[in-house]
A and B are shown apart, each in its own frame.
Chain A
Amino acid sequence: MPALVAALINLSHPGRYVHWGFIQLSVANLVVIALMILVFVLAIALPFPHGKRARR
């Protein structure tokens, strides 16, 4: 059971970082930023479901 609820990725090691000149970013933060961009694009591109027409 503990194995089922454990993190999908082994977190018991020092964080990994990427470097671009003076910019230093953890891979974890980079993944979150990529996910936010993906969700932002999907939010614009995906059609929104419609309910019943309002009776007025």
Chain B
Amino acid sequence: MSPSVLICDDSNMARKQVLRSLPEEWKDSVQIACNGAEALTILRDNSIEILFLDLTMPGIDGIGVLQGIQKLKLNCSVFVISADIQPEMQNKVKALGAKEFMRKPVQADALLNNLQLHGLL
């Protein structure tokens, strides 16, 4: 059975980059959020297993979403995909519970490797 997946990014192109990297059979169960607030609403009302999360977004950013997930005590595997590649930022998102950090533009093999690494594939 394919897991429930949420992709959160303010860029349509970036969302498509993630989507096309996913296994074909997952694609029907993918939800989309264009910003942090939308993501938190979807996360609250659905049981999302895997979240692909951008950091730099207007309004509630990726850090805000990670904090929200902690506050709501959600059990969700988060993979951050960001252009903000500073080592301090990578450490920060991991400290906030993200499984992995991937730099943009995301490459399909890196994404699939990371899913495998965490037993999600």
Tell me whether A and B are bound partners: no
